[in-house]
Amino acid sequence: MNYLIKTYCFESGLWYLAKSLGDKLRAEGHTVIYAPKVKYVLRDRGTATLRVKKYFKPKNPKDFKGEKILKFSERKDKSEQIIRAVINHSIDTVISFETFYLGDYWPARVRSQTGVKVIDVPMPEWVNWKHVKSGAHAQLFDEIWCLTKYAKNRFDNYGYKYHEKAKSKTWDFVDSSIFYPPEKREGPVTFYHAASLNAEHSTKNTDKVLEAFKRFCKEENPKASLIVTVGADKDMVDNHKNIEYITDVQNRKEIGIIYRRADVVLAPSQKEGLGLNLYEAISCGCVVVTTKAPPMDEIHTKYLCEVSGYESPKAGSIKLAQVKVEEIQKQIKQAYEDIINGRR
């Protein structure tokens, strides 16, 4: 079979998720080609701010060596470019990750003009649920692959059309050549928090994680350290003897090394699409502290922060789970004590 996978074709969680599927399909003997997913950016045009589409390229092209990635142009019609790719490469199935359509019904055009199967792999926070409720989403795709129970349940709530098309799917999301456990963990208990590269729109609760860890250190005086990667407020990490702040953007291999240094990953996010980073952390043998809200609570961990409430987001359609500093501190303390007791 020949597959065309549509996703961000630059360093992003969506790329690594799509690539994990591509690697699986290739291992089964199929041909996989990637088509770039457009990203919308805000640009000032005089007195107005416009949403402009852009196909971003990798910052480190060598990391994408060996992948067949098509070149799309912002100046050309997206549907026509996909149709041309389907025909030129004899594609049997198009798999589109996080299909975000603003009045753009390219899946229907591709299906009607080429006869290929088109599959959506949605991230719930970017799904237009009004579009789903009307049944229009079901008409666009042959199948909808739900990677979490939360996504499957939401689609199932909208009637028989989705009972037929929305399917639970999973595969090994993690690149085990990068994310694997160390031979042994020793020394002070080490926590790790990955802050967001886009701090203004972060849902990682970085400020609360830092405050919770500082309180834990002050009250318990533990033999513990916290690694934080770029995206945190420097005023909250500078000069704290227990916090190591890495200010350079880390590549995938470097992140794998940090996971192997860490005992616990602190990820009490307000929302996640899949939470690929949580699966990667577990693959490295880390304990995970996260939020007791879907889909975060679908992973294997007992360290779940209780939700105090929900807030509407500035962007996206999924309400943001609110977690208090005290709850994060409680889970930090419990994870720390369990690790110390396990080493005795």
The separation between CA 259 and the C-alpha centre of its own chain, rounded to angstroms, equals: 17
Task: Enter the DSSP assignment of 174.
Answer: S
| DSSP string computed for 104-169 | --HHHHHHHHH--EEEEE--GGG--HHHHHHTHHHHH-SEEEE-SHHHHHHHHTT-HHHHHHEEE-
Compute the average pLDDT of residues 135-163.
91
Please state, for a pLDDT cut of 70, what percent of the chain lies above it. 96
What topology is assigned to 189-343 in CATH? Answer: Rossmann fold (3.40.50)
- What is the location of CATH 3.40.50.2000 in the chain? 189-343
pLDDT tens figures, 14-35: 999 999 999 999 999 999 999 9
β-pair partners for 320: 311
Q: Grade residue 264 by pLDDT with cuts at 50, 70 and 90.
A: very high
Whether the per-residue pLDDT at 8 is higher than 70: the answer is yes
> What pLDDT is stored for residue 47 in this prediction?
74
What stretch(es) of the chain map to CATH 3.40.50.11190?
A: 2-168
Q: Is the pLDDT of residue 69 over 60?
A: yes
* Of 216-220, 225-229, 290-294, 340-344, minimum mean pLDDT range: 340-344
**Structure confidence at residue 130 (pLDDT):** 86
Judged by average pLDDT, the poorest of 41-50, 252-261, 263-272, 287-296 is 41-50
pLDDT in tens, 46-65: 777 777 889 999 988 999 99
Mean pLDDT of 307-334: 91
Across the chain, the runs of DSSP E, i.e. the strands, are 2-7, 31-36, 39-45, 48-54, 93-97, 117-121, 143-146, 166-168, 189-194, 224-229, 243-246, 264-267, 287-291, 303-305, 309-311, 320-322
Amino acid 344: pLDDT: 56
Tell me how far apart the alpha carbons of residues 228 and 328 are, in angstroms, rounded to a whole number.
16
Over residues 216-258, the pLDDT tens digits come to 999 998 899 999 987 667 777 777 889 999 888 888 999 999 9
Using an 8 Å Cβ cutoff, are 305 and 291 in contact? Answer: yes
Checking if the pLDDT of 195 tops 90, the result is: no
pTM score, whole prediction: 0.90
Residues ≥6 apart with Cβ < 8 Å to 141: 99, 107, 118, 119, 120, 165
CATH code: domain 2-168 is 3.40.50.11190
Report the pLDDT value the prediction gives residue 101, as an integer from 0 to 100. 66
Q: Is the pLDDT of residue 160 over 60?
A: yes
* Average predicted confidence (pLDDT) for the chain: 91
pLDDT at 232: 67
Query: What per-residue confidence (pLDDT) applies to 67?
Result: 96
